A and B are shown apart, each in its own frame.
Chain A
Amino acid sequence: MSWTRIPTAALLAAGLAAGCATPKPPPATLSFTGRDCAAAPDLAKAVSLTPPKPKPMFVVTTPIGAQVGTPVAGPPACLERAGAQRPYALYALPKDPAGKTLMVGSVLEGARIFSPEVALLDATGQVTRSFTPADYFYRADVYSVQFQPKAGETYILVDADPARVSRRYDSIAIGVNTTATYVAGVGAVTIRTGVDAKQSRTFSYDGQVQVTVYDAAADAKKK
């Protein structure tokens, strides 16, 4: 940490300039048109949730939606389900699911939240478990469901729920900022200031899916 002696006005100006330079967060995408959407997910392309070595917490974050389509990689993976085209991400459950708890959902970005619909699939891709809207909670910065895998469950499918797209989530987040400064005649001083910010986000077809795998055995071993 370095202490600085900079006039308040200069700090304020720098802060304002930084504020101007901050790029706007990506807005919500309220429609999605896929290309060659499949009836079932491509099981061969499932992202593994087995970490290279056991960890108490293993987090995988995946961009999803039209934003991930590129001329080289092609269009984003999509499904045709219940009369709607939906971008999706597919994950393979940890190889040894016993004692693991998973949190699956969407990251709360600056202006948007991917509208998640989470389901568990068996080894053939058939849905074995799904979740209702009441199963989803805001858990810190992830809108998610939480579950423990059962026998016969192999994959997690996360696709877009069109019913929630365009709904707003207004929230208030509070916190404390700590800054260090130098005051003539006093010395180094740490200043704590409160933050109370209103935020508004919209559910979207684009965003980031996040899966967190909690491993009780790895956590116990660490202790």
Chain B
Amino acid sequence: MFRRFMVALAALSLTACASPYVAKPFDRAAASVQTLGLAGDAVPEKAMAYESASVGSNFGLIGALVDAGIQSSRQNAVNNALQGASFDPEARLQARLVGQLAAEGYKVQPLPTAARPKREFLATYGSDQEVDAYLDVVLASYGYLSAGAGKPFRPTAYANVRLVSAKDPTKTLMQNRIVYNPLLAEKGVITLTPNPAYAFNNRADLLADPKRLAAGIEDALDQVADAAAQLVR
């Protein structure tokens, strides 16, 4: 998870130097979409619990090695705590998306989806579904993020959203990126500010109340789902 997060962060920095991020807005009147196939496996298996400018990261190679151990230990502890809270982020996100899309007048059919090899859009969506378009919401990462030592851990989520025509799967009808609590706010990307109700001072605070820990992420996922549904309204 840590590696994925750092890759996403590095990609973000690189894109700042190369091509700008360009979203594709949806034109509902022109698209004639009533039934959506909703792709699965949207959420990574494990949540992150990452402190960016940690103390260890300021002390060279040895510091970085120690820091990697601390980050990994914290992530494992957070994921163990979430398991104890009956936390199911995939089901939460999918249910919220289905509800919000139905409120926008869409009929939604979940698509059978195998585990994604990478946290990227699916290459194909299958042709036996009777839908007008495929909605693919995929999270590169989610969990908790602290800006650095002494700063609170807040929920975070990094999602890519795409709507593809079922008639012509080469045609992208909408594409966007939604980031909840970004460390770097990339130009043109939808940014959602974190809910101040879910701030945890340190590792002990994160682990003190697993239900609240899970609720913070669920709240973030709800907001990401709402924004995704808003993009196809």
A140 within 8 A of B: yes
Whether B146 pairs with A189 at a CB distance below 8 angstroms is no
Interface size on B, residues (CB 8 A): 39
Q: Which of B39-47, B69-77, B185-193, B213-221 is near enough to bind chain A?
A: B185-193
Whether B188 pairs with A139 at a CB distance below 8 angstroms is yes
Chain A, residues 180-195, CB within 8 Å of chain B (1/0): the string is: 0000000001111111
Minimum CB distance partner of A147 in chain B = B25
B227 within 8 A of A: yes
CB neighbours (8 Å) of B151 from chain A are: 174, 194-196
CB neighbours (8 Å) of B145 from chain A are: 174
Assess A171 versus B193: contact at CB under 8 Å? Given A192-B53, A192-B57: yes
Whether B190 pairs with A194 at a CB distance below 8 angstroms is no
Interface size on A, residues (CB 8 A): 37
Interfacial residues of chain A within 164-188, with CB under 8 A of chain B in the complex: 170-177
A101 within 8 A of B: yes
Whether B57 pairs with A57 at a CB distance below 8 angstroms is no
Q: How many angstroms from the CA of A146 to the CA of B189 in the assembled complex?
A: 11
A212 to chain B, nearest CB (A): 7
B52 within 8 A of A: yes
Q: How many angstroms from the CA of A215 to the CA of B184 in the assembled complex?
A: 24
8 further A-B pairs in the complex, CB-CB below 8 A; given A101-B25, A194-B151: A134-B233, A140-B187, A142-B187, A172-B181, A176-B147, A194-B51, A194-B149, A195-B151
By a beta-carbon cutoff of 8 Å, the part of chain A in contact with chain B is 56-57, 101, 103, 134, 137-142, 146-148, 170-177, 189-196, 198, 212, 214, 216, 219, 222-223
